[in-house]
Amino acid sequence: MNPVDHPDNFLAPAVWGNPHPYFARLRSTQPVSWNSWWNGWVLTRYDDVDFILKRSEKVSAATVAPAMARATPEQLERRATTFRMLGSFLPLNDPPDHTRLRRLVNKAFTPATVARLQPGIERRAKELLDAVEGRDQFEVISDFSHPLTLSVISEMLGIPDEDRTEVGTWGAQIVPLVLEGRDNSGRREVAERVLQEMEQYFRKLLQVRRRGPRNDLVSALAQAEDAGGLLTEDEIVSTCILLIFAGQETTTGLIANAVLALDEHPDQRERLVQQPELMPGAVEELLRYCGTAFAVTRMAKEPFRLREQEIAAGDKILLVLAAANRDPERFPDPDRLDISRNATGHLAFAGGVHYCLGGPLARVEARIGLNQLLARYPHLSPAPQRLTWSDVIIAREPASLVVDLSGAGRGVA
């Protein structure tokens, strides 16, 4: 792996602490630039990112097969579960496999289906805030946003209550592998072990639900497998792993990022406190301004030209969603959070065939979570602390965020 002090290393703390100026410079000077640290092309303009997202015939999301082709027989054996499970991950597959898998779970996440989950999400958010009532401080992620998203996705999948604490520890352990961390100290070994645990768990749960189906997603997946032979058991287990992972790791970070963004823009926060009905539009703007998904990776299937650059077949391409979302050509005055802006068309959920399956769920969770936080603690603000940002390319969120409930805080370093 390339050295940490490489000039193109945008995960270096000096850049990653606030990466927007770095990517703004790239966007205006070299919108399609070769990054020799990451060893691929970095795209930062809205039009280019949007264009490539919608060209699944030109670029591939299936990065597992090429990685397997490069691996030694010994690596293939040592990382067998990782390759098998990630090989069937929806975001890492191209059509037609992708289409077949996605159709199976798509309906569970449409806006209409997700709207029915609203009362349960509201109840859970209230319980979590009741539990910290009377304290001076709490930690947004571990006390609120993570337990909230964990219980929502667990409820959907049908994970028994008594398993949820353990299930909730898995996601964070595979983040460094799945979301492209660069610290190699053991991330592959940890992910292999945790993916084995996850695989065993879901195989067992699928069996249980096959014998006694309930009204949950794991039962629906078990039945779909039995009904058609359209899906392999590996694909179904992999999809369960993906859903429990993506269902937590994304919106959890969005809520924390939003608390920080609203603290930087107190006038916008005040408007939301006064007019909670503005929340749906505000969540779109927060997704644009500070959505968790920072970038997505693709690989060129064929050579093509983009802004005078020759992209070769097999080249890696990083689509920087966060940079596209702050392209002034698309969103005027992009570094300002403006909850009344029309943020429609933002790429926080990517686009094209891989447009985030859970987008409608993320929206509802964020609306409810943020509205309840602001209703209960209108003066909430970050306590004095030094933030540590997730050390991965695909997602950017603080590792933890302590807030003062009285409004005495204001101290992010």
Partner 1 sequence: MSGAWAEVDHELCMGTAMCRSVAPQAFSLGDDGKSSYVSSAGASLDALRDAEENCPVQAITVHEDEQG
Least Cβ distance, residue 54 to partner 1 (angstroms): 3
Is 280 a binder of partner 1 (CB under 8 A)? Answer: no
At position 221, the amino acid (one-letter code) is: L
Is 126 a binder of partner 1 (CB under 8 A)? Answer: no
Residues 167-206 that bind partner 1 (CB under 8 A): none
**Gap between the Cα atoms of 361 and 76, Å rounded:** 36
Q: Tokens at residue 317, please?
A: 């391409």
Residues 66-95 that bind partner 1 (CB under 8 A): 95
Least Cβ distance, residue 206 to partner 1 (angstroms): 24
CB neighbours (10 Å) of residue 25? 11
Is 107 a binder of partner 1 (CB under 8 A)? Answer: yes
Phi, psi (rounded to 5 degrees) for 299: -130, 135
By beta-carbon proximity to partner 1, the closer residue of 72 and 344 is 344
Q: How far is CA 313 from CA 33, 113, 302, 359, in A?
A: 16, 40, 4, 31
* Numbers of helices and strands, H then E, in the chain: 19, 10
Q: How many residues bind partner 1 (CB under 8 A)?
A: 26
**Gap between the Cα atoms of 135 and 403, Å rounded:** 11
Do 316 and 38 contact (CB within 8 A), yes or no? yes
What is the pattern of x (binds partner 1, CB under 8 A) and - over residues 51-70? x-xxx---------------
Least Cβ distance, residue 318 to partner 1 (angstroms): 19
By beta-carbon proximity to partner 1, the closer residue of 50 and 404 is 50
Residues 342-401 that bind partner 1 (CB under 8 A): 344-345, 349, 351-353, 355-357, 359-360
Q: Which residues pair with 139 in a beta bridge?
A: 402
Choice from 7, 21, 66, 111 touching partner 1 (CB under 8 A): 111
What are the residues whose beta carbons fall under 8 Å from the beta carbon of 213, sequence distance 6 or more?
219, 222, 223
Is 102 a binder of partner 1 (CB under 8 A)? Answer: yes
Least Cβ distance, residue 286 to partner 1 (angstroms): 17
Least Cβ distance, residue 389 to partner 1 (angstroms): 27
Q: Which residues pair with 137 in a beta bridge?
A: 404
In DSSP notation, 65-112 reads HHHHHHS-HHHHHHTHHHHHHHHT-GGG--TTHHHHHHHHHHGGGSHH
Least Cβ distance, residue 303 to partner 1 (angstroms): 20
By beta-carbon proximity to partner 1, the closer residue of 1 and 227 is 227
Choices 28-36, 45-53, 226-234, 291-299; region in contact with partner 1 by CB under 8 A: 45-53
Do 409 and 383 contact (CB within 8 A), yes or no? yes
User: Which residues are near partner 1 by CB under 8 A?
Assistant: 50-51, 53-55, 95, 99, 102-103, 106-107, 109-112, 344-345, 349, 351-353, 355-357, 359-360
